[in-house]
Structure 1
């Protein structure tokens, strides 16, 4: 599988399906078909529209589409994004709210590098912007990174996170969503030894595989069954000649997407069937629930092969984070060295990606942290997506996280100023 031909073959299949969708849409919408009293042509055009849109989204990075936020003054403030730190495999970006002063809460959202773009956290960003200055890790698509930039594995990822935290300073609150949770915990422990003053005030870990063996899922079962040799053979390909990263070994986004879809094939199949019927009836819209969700879900990016393989081997198979045996740049990281950063764990009761118990293991590893600085929340009835972007996040989890930040922030820890006596 480690050939450009297989990568280009998948791209060819995707392109062909996009073309078939466009053709069916055009043919089914041809004016002359109105002469025939049958809904078949409308269904054909609807199928083509859904097909074309779906396959075209797979190679496009979604926009943030966050134009403004309402400030405390009741006015809309324009939101822009710009990079504070630029690196080959990912940038540290800030959501700049024009005309608004610095906020009391400064939050770094650590986005997953697990097949989707950082825009997967769009709704999370929107929910935090009114109350926080928001920063985010914007990971790059590996197919767009020249081979000359070298490798990028989980140790490099951890060092990126440590650098981003150091750049933002100590008055920071970090929220890691899903895949980066164990590496964000490791980066915090790394700073605890290397640069204690750069540690964040709080660390919130949401649905991450700190200890994959704590609760079995399809993801952990797959990691346990397959050998590293088999995984490298079936999952790794070289980027084709159409991209800047030609020749780079990657885990292709299209291959990842097929794995995502297969986990809930029945649900996805029903969703697309119903959408075709809605389009045929004229009940669909460009920004309806289906399109909003799948425009993001279908937009996938390639991961560097060394990052994917080292994640499976070291986090899932060898359990280096769970056993507190993780090494970064030759330095053994000790999670027990975290003694001042308040840590909160959030899990979803029905999470089928990182099941309850996997993320909770982080609190067990923080042996140097007093119990007063540990917190955990299990959201009833919530799945994986809901705990950081859905209704459960908006209504229940977000208020708890903000309260945790306020309780453990610098302002909460600082003594109250003594009253000043006036001289008469």
Structure 2
């Protein structure tokens, strides 16, 4: 996210220097006091974080979000680090963003804009590009009122109200509105095409499995291993945006199986983006089984799991049978490794979910995952659930052991994230 008045082009060799800002409003509001995820988002957008600023307020300042004093502090950091942009971990109103840019003298972006920018760069398919364009247009439509200097009202004298600037705003608003309608129509056609494909799979009695999970949990790598595909996979946020579906073959299973890799979720994923990706997320909603992929080495995996569950509920997929796949087993220390690679996790309200630990990189645990899939397709997985004790969900790795062979203490509480 480079500044509009920066003279040097920004890119991989010359990334934009960004100041990261997070505001803790308390009262259970979403807040990450490390700003690590925002730093990863900035890196994914081609920026480099040169400073992190934490502010605490009871409520956002109407004009500058962080208040004038903290804004002056950020401005000093911008000048000291010769920063090109300031990135906020929370959503800003159009007025707040405009005021901050004037006060700080550099480009200002919030979490929503950053995510949309990354999605815009990563979308590859025609459908993915349409989905991102729709979300960006919907976001942009709220930023039209005096957002840019050429749109500002120009007064011409006594009795004059408005002028060319207001006319330009209305013109831009109408053009965006028309484009939004056109994109929605195109996406509706895509949705119908997907519906036709799903009906075809239903007629063929295809068992549909979808990979879901927090971004960068390793879904695409697991997908490639399971179906021997070459979908793009990288250790970065939102490496994959476009849904990919392939046939999955299991020994001893004659029934046709499809496996779909879907877009990753993230805390405070813009609601408009969820709406725009409705056609893609429908794959998860229509699945017979969800493989919820979790980065078991993440210090905030509980929050990430809860975020995925919240989005699944939002798209109507909360009641679909699910298997927890704790991926990246190879990244755990020896003392953190589970005693058993397969167990059951109690998620509350009597809900018991099979869990398997795997490493997509080394292949460890993958035979057990295939066995669970075979049982699910054969209808015998429920018997496994009833025959095992469920691990309590408030323990990060319920089977981890210390050097003396005793269970380790639960992981320290991570910063609370309000789920979006």
Fold match (TM-score > 0.5): no
Which gives a bigger RCO, structure 1 or 2 (Cα 8 Å, sep 6+)?
1
Q: Which has the higher helix share?
A: 1
Question: What TM-score, normalized to structure 1?
Answer: 0.30
TM-score normalized by structure 2? 0.30
